[in-house]
Each structure stands twice: as C-alpha cells, then as structure tokens.
Structure 1
Amino acid sequence: VRWDHIAKVGGTIIILMGVANIAEISTALIAGGLSPATPVAAIRWGTRPQQQTTRCTLGDLVSRPLMAPSVIVVGEVAAENLNWFEQRPLFGRRILVTRPTEGASRLAGRLRDLGAEVVSLPSMTVTEPADGGVGLARLAAEVAPGDWVVLSSRIAAQRFLASLADLRSLGGIQLAVVGPGTAEVVIQAGMTPDLVPAVTTAEGLLGSFPSATQTERSVVWLPQSSLAPPVLSEGIAARGWEVRVVEAYGMVRAESWPDPHEILEGIDAVTCMSSSAAAAVHAAVGSERLAGKCYSIGPSTSATLVELGVQPVATAEHASLDGMVECLVWAFGESDPQE
C-alpha cells in the first residue's frame, strides 16, 4: 500500500490490521504530507465490553504500545470526544446471569446495552409440570367468576394463558400479578391485571391482597413453579381464601456445570434472581467463591444467601428485572472496572 499517496487524498484514514506495521505506515503518512500533529485514535476490541481506546498524534503513534486487533483512525475526527461507549455504567464489568434460558435473554440484553460482558449460565431448567398439565387444565375448566388467579412469575403467566382455549372464559375473574414483568405478559395478551402491588415481592403482593368476604365462593388459584416457597399460598389462606395451588411448570437444577474455577473466572457480579437460583449456584461453587460477588433480586433471596453463608453485596430495591439492573448500575456506577 502506498501510504504516502494515501496521505495526499485528504479526509479520514482508517487502518485495519495495521498494528504490526504501524511504524512503517506512520512514517509513510508523514512523508506523504500529513502533519505529525494529526490526531489518531486506536480502538481495540471495538464495540465489545473490553474496548480500549488509545489517543495520540501521528508522530507519537509509534511509541504507543498498541495491540491487535485494533482499528486505527487518522484524521481530525480522532480528536473528537466520542467515548460514549466506554462511559456506559457497566462498561468493563463481567456479569454472570443465572436465570433459566427462558428469562436470561431479557436480562442479558439489558446488561449488554449498559456495557457489561454477560456470561449466561442457567442454574435452573424449566420443565413441564409433574402432572403433565392436568392441574392447569383443571384450572382452565373450573375457574369461575369471583375467583382470583395469582401469577407470581412471567413463566407462570405464560403457562396459564396458554392453557386457556378462549380468553373470554376469564370474564368476571380477577388477576393479580407480582410485578411489572408479569403484568407485561398479561397486558400483551390483551388484558389488564386487577392488582399489581407497589412492592414487587410475594410479601408486597400479600400486603395488597384483599381478605375474603363472606360469599358463597372465595377461591384463589395459584399457578406457580414446583419450587415456589409457600409464602403466597399460606399468606392468602390466612386471609380467609380457599387456595388451590397448581404446578404450572417444573424447575430443576442444571444437570452439569463447568469447573467452579472457570465459572467465576473474572466475574465481577453474580445475579441471583430467585432463592432457588441462589441455592443452585451455591451448590455448584460454594460460599467462598461467591463471597463479594452476589447481587440479590429481593429480601427473600438475600435471606437464602445468608442462610447459605453468603452475604449479598446488594439487594435490589424492587424485586424485578429492572430492579436488578438498577442495583448493578448503582453498585458499579462510581467504581473503576480496572480496580
């Protein structure tokens, strides 16, 4: 390539795969008429969480310790302060997402948009309910006007709605959801939840749930995970309701994990989105390796971590995907990822 000729063309010059020959290239560009003071930016691993930008002048470029792969930009545009990518709040952070595959992509996408490198390693696998769907079929057939259906997760909402032959069968039935994520599923189906608690936890839902009145029928249907704790069922029953628990889906621990050392290599944060996920991760890697890394979605999950001998670094203010993202941004917002 006649770099001395390219120097006479003017405008911005983009050099690809030029690190090994950068001394020859820069010398030729200066010989072709470019000023040694011409701004240069070398971007390594561009658009990835490991992105690094080196800024200098053309005359000083040869003295900089550049590494491949780098894109080298020569021209006045290189002097512009276009480092928005590196200023994202989670830039340079490596975060382990332990949600089941069904929910991992939403969280992972949000974290990547904020600059994080995401490692997805589902701690749990969603399976069909142990009864083969008999309970969901019974719910769909027997739910009646005046009943409540309480949905405590997005998956529970999806499984419940999929079991219905006609959404019009829900006329006169009231729907309660644990938070905005679950509400989104219901709204996308063309319905409006009757109850969305301000505090997005099981305890928050209980605090907003009405007591049963003296009517002929006081039934609450609770489609949920096979591993769901009894907080909701017992709390609603204590308010005078007849609670009918339905296994909407099974949850089992992942059958195999990589070596514990490999799992947490370079990890800055482990997201614990439920008590069952926290227990599964702990079973795989142990308390010592989780120290100083676990971020909890809510008080119940934090309590589980503490029982397992792991002190959570922080607990989300709101027990939701958005709450976890906000928690991580808050935790890492003021610190340097290189520290």
Structure 2
Amino acid sequence: MSTVYLVGAGPGDPKLLTRRAYELITTAEIIVYDALVSPRIIELIPPTTRLYNVGKRYGAHSMKQPEINALLVELASEDVKKIVRLKGGDPFVFAHGGEEMQVLREAGIRYEIVPGITAGLAAPAYFDIPVTHRAVSRSFTCLTAHSESGELPDFDWTALAKLGGTLIFYMGVRQIASISQALIEAGCDASTPAALVSRGTTPQQTLLARTLGEFTDAEEDFTAYTPALFVIGEVIRLNEGSTSRPLTGKKIIVTRARHQASSLQEALEAEGAEALLLPTIELSTNQEVATEVSSCLRELYRYGWIFFTSPNAVEFFFAALREAGLDSRALAPCRIASLGPMTSASLLSRGIQPDFMPSAYHAKAFAAEFIQHSSKCEAKPILLPASALAHDDLPRLLEEAGYPCHRLPLYTNNPIHYEQEELRATLSSADYLTACSSSAVHHLVELLEAYQLTELLHELPIAVLGEQTAEAVRSYGIEPQLIAPQATITALVDSLIESLR
C-alpha cells in the first residue's frame, strides 16, 4: 500500500533538512515538489526518482491546488511504496498541507506528516534576528499577506498594531506598502524597525532593513526580492547589517569536476558564499589502456612504491582494482607515497596509511624529499597512477635520480562545452574564481580562447590550491591572487575569507 509523506523541506539551506526528510527524499520512488524547494535540495534526489514539479508562483501557477490533490490520489493508486509531497518550509505553515492531508484521509490513503523548519523563524535567524527576545519581544505572530482576490487580507489591523512583539508576513512582497500603511494608520509608530528578508538561509539571501514608514511608498517595486518575508519589530535592531557568515553576498566560481565540486561548494556555502559551478572537465576511465591496467594491477608485486598525486588518482585506481576483482590487499607488496593531505585523506578513507608524504605539495619537493628519504638500492620501479594528461615533471625528476617509473594513465580529462554568453555572464558576475588543478586551468583557458574571452580571466581574482596549479595560472601571464597555504579545501576557503574581509 502506498504512503504519501507530506514533507517540509525547510527554508532552503540543505543542512536544515530534518533527518527524516533527508531519508525520505533520498529513498522515495516519486516526489511531487513545490517551487519554493531549494535547487540544492532537489540535487539530493536520486536520478531514478520520478519527479513532478507542481510549483506555484504568483501569476505562473503550473498546477492549481485541486489538481495537485487529485495527482496525489492518482499516484497513490500505483504500485509504489513511498510518495513524497515536498514543500518549502513546513507543510502546515501557509502551504496547503492541511488540505492535502484531508484529501488523502478521505480517499483512505496512508499518509505521514514530516514537519520542516519554517522560513519565518529560520530566515531572520540567519541575519542575527531572533523573533523573540526577553528584553525586546515576548511574542511573534506569523501571517500571510496573500489572499485569493489578490487584495490585502481583512485583518484586525488595530489589534495587530497593539499586539507588540514581532510580526512576520509571508507572501507579502506585493503588499509591502499596503501592510506598512495599514499598520501605521492602526497606531504603529512609523519609526518601528521593519525588514524584507529575501531568500533567507540560501547563498542569495539579502536583507533590506528600514523603518515601517520608509516602506509605505506604493510606487516602489520589491518583486526582485521574491520570495521574501516582511518582518516588523524591535528585534530587527539586533541585526548589525550583516550575517556572521563572512562570505555572504560573494559569488565564487568552482571549476572542479562536477563529482568533486560538492566539497568545495558546501564549504563555501557554509560561509555564506554563492558557489557558481563551472566545471571545466569531466573525468572518465581511460578505456584505451584497460588491458594494460588490468595486467599491471595483477602484478603489483613488481613495484616497490605506488605514488598517488591526487584524490582522482586514488579514486580511479581503486575503481580499477574493483573492476579487476581485487581490493586493497593487492597493495601489500608496495609502499605508498601521497602528495598532499587531500590525497592522503582519500587513501585513509580506504584504509591505507601512506608511508611517505612530502612537506611541500608539488613535484619538485615530492621528488627531492623522496630521494632523500629512500635508498637507491630499492631496485623495483615506482608506479604512478595518473591522468592521461598529467605532467611528466615527477617521473622525469625521479628517473634522472635513478628511480625507474611506470606511469599508468588511468583516466582522461575531457573538456566541458559552454556557450559564450554563459561563460561571459558567469565570469563577469563573480568575485573570485577557484582552481584546484592545473588541468582545470588549462581547459578553462581553452574555452575562453575559443570565444576570445581571455581578458575576463585577467580581470578576475584567482584562488588556487597548490603551487602546481599556481604555475598553470602563471603560464598564461596571470598571477594568482592567493595560493592556499595548505593543499586542502579548508585552507582554500579560509584564505578566501581572509582575502575578502
């Protein structure tokens, strides 16, 4: 028997999903979702899930509420177990969840309510605005400024003006002047603090703080702030005009391969930035050397060391091991070297503790310190799993010192195509561009050269992970604005915060 889950997706930040909500949206067979569900939450849904976008926005309804009700009943008649009705915020706060519950109940369909964090509480909090405060506000009132007629709801404005505390209006962007005027006429002081809180808890969040009287201009258009809350009360004075997240309002380009981008994207968004995904490469197994790889992996005893120079090399190496029917025990005859903490972390996640890691994370230091660390009497060659486009610096330096190397090109770096205007718009709007590998830099420059847009790269500050990536940027006559002091995502984000203070 099907169960329909009425699930609150929260105000936008994926980290504010409840544990139950995350569990359901990642395991449901069908999801019916609203326009206010954050795109970052939609990204969490598995590609095999059947999706229905029934989002309603002012003047652009994709489905009317009775049609949504009927759809839920129809889907529940199918041979599926989990149907999620996903709503922004909480399903029972101005979200028709109660109506949908009644329809399901009358149709004899099993349902479960999964509350979510409502925007009225969460969005102000992201701007250091508590909706209650013992010394300022002992109550809060949530209202909807939307009505079927499009007019201002017929509230008892005098009662609201006398209520005190904090007033929070949902769906009121087109009624800001009318709300402000009605409250002032009912007795509210025109100097009462008020604020539009737009897209709260997301990287695009903004706060427009004024007095109530300054919001009474009926000619002013606030639709660009949609979706937004209109918050009125003394608690707004507790906001200092900015959030404690230091990268709020900054747009930062992430050029990592899409399957890797999430760690940097999440780290940037945790500090308030808007991460603009512009992966320049996608990685795939190098099928041209499949036979060589399989043979090599079955004869690892021939090698004294395996050098891993990137997390990608680790990932594709272990994928190849699985494909060959092997596991980490096959590495027992070899010692393991790792270039940098991110590569070491990738090895550790697979139960492998590196035997050697240089103090500086580039080829020259790797080779020099390894030569000093090891003994030339080690006759077995070194295996270097890498990209087909990897630089020859490391094997060349090792072989010059008498250490034979076998480079194994496990994967290929394939460029991603973008339209000219898409590239121009992304680079022109950003505050910073990040690059975590030299291949990402080279592929980006190739794209820009094809459209004669390389001047955009010269105008944009660039932050890089590691000296090797910095050298790739310098090869085009550009000096990186910053180089992370350690080759880690945390160090890169911390450097950006310091640079943008």
TM-score normalised per structure 1? 0.87
Query: RCO greater where, 1 or 2, for CA within 8 Å and sep 6 or more?
Result: 1
TM superposition shift of 1:266 = 0.9
Q: Aligned partners of 1:264 and 1:214: how far apart in 2? A: 49
Residues 84-109 of structure 1 deviation map (CA, whole Å, 9 limit, x = unaligned): 63x42222221221111122221112
Give the conservation status (yes or no) of the 8 Å contact 2:282–2:415: yes
The number of residues matched between the two structures is 332
TM superposition shift of 1:14 = 0.6
> Which blocks of at least 5 consecutive residues in structure 2 are unaligned?
1-152
1:209-288 to 2 correspondences below 5 Å: 209-210=370-371, 213-215=375-377, 217-259=379-421, 260-286=423-449, 287-288=454-455
Q: Aligned partners of 1:222 and 1:111: how far apart in 2? A: 32
TM superposition shift of 1:162 = 2.6
Q: Aligned partners of 2:383 and 2:159: how far apart in 1? A: 77
Equivalent residue number for residue 56 of structure 1: 210
Please say if 1:170 is aligned against 2:331.
yes
| Matched residue SS, 1:209 | helix
TM superposition shift of 1:245 = 0.7
1:1-150 to 2 correspondences below 5 Å: 1=153, 2=155, 3-62=157-216, 67-68=222-223, 69=226, 70-81=228-239, 85=243, 87-144=244-301, 147-150=304-307
Q: Aligned partners of 2:303 and 2:442: how far apart in 1? A: 37
Give the conservation status (yes or no) of the 8 Å contact 1:136–1:223: no
| Matched residue SS, 1:21 | helix
Q: CA 1:257–1:317 in structure 2 vs 1: closer, same or farther (change >3 Å)?
A: farther
Residues 212-247 of structure 1 deviation map (CA, whole Å, 9 limit, x = unaligned): 535463221100001110111112223322211101
TM superposition shift of 1:298 = 3.0
Q: CA 1:264–1:81 in structure 2 vs 1: closer, same or farther (change >3 Å)?
A: same
Q: CA 1:15–1:264 in structure 2 vs 1: closer, same or farther (change >3 Å)?
A: same
Equivalent residue number for residue 344 of structure 2: 183
Larger deviation, residues 228-237 vs 259-268: 259-268
Q: Aligned partners of 2:425 and 2:217: how far apart in 1? A: 36
Larger deviation, residues 87-96 vs 153-162: 87-96
Larger deviation, residues 210-219 vs 8-17: 210-219
Q: CA 1:6–1:274 in structure 2 vs 1: closer, same or farther (change >3 Å)?
A: same
Equivalent residue number for residue 303 of structure 1: 471
Q: Aligned partners of 2:377 and 2:479: how far apart in 1? A: 46
Say what the alpha-carbon RMSD is for the aligned residues.
2.6
Q: Aligned partners of 1:127 and 1:23: how far apart in 2? A: 55
TM superposition shift of 1:66 = 6.8
Q: CA 1:10–1:255 in structure 2 vs 1: closer, same or farther (change >3 Å)?
A: closer
| Matched residue SS, 1:144 | helix
Q: Aligned partners of 1:319 and 1:33: how far apart in 2? A: 59
Return the letter of the residue paired with 1:92.
Answer: G
TM superposition shift of 1:146 = 6.9
Q: Percent identity?
A: 29
TM-score normalised per structure 2? 0.60
Give the conservation status (yes or no) of the 8 Å contact 1:145–1:170: no
Give the conservation status (yes or no) of the 8 Å contact 2:300–2:333: no
Runs of 4+ in 1 over 4 A off after TM superposition: 63-66
Return the letter of the residue paired with 2:468.
Answer: S
| Matched residue SS, 1:175 | strand
TM superposition shift of 1:250 = 0.8
Give the conservation status (yes or no) of the 8 Å contact 1:201–1:319: no
Q: Aligned partners of 1:25 and 1:183: how far apart in 2? A: 58
Q: Aligned partners of 2:497 and 2:378: how far apart in 1? A: 50
Please say if 1:198 is aligned against 2:359.
yes
Larger deviation, residues 152-161 vs 30-39: 30-39
Q: Aligned partners of 1:215 and 1:67: how far apart in 2? A: 74
| Matched residue SS, 2:288 | coil
Larger deviation, residues 216-225 vs 198-207: 198-207
Give the conservation status (yes or no) of the 8 Å contact 1:149–1:174: yes
Q: Aligned partners of 1:214 and 1:28: how far apart in 2? A: 86
Q: Aligned partners of 1:61 and 1:256: how far apart in 2? A: 42
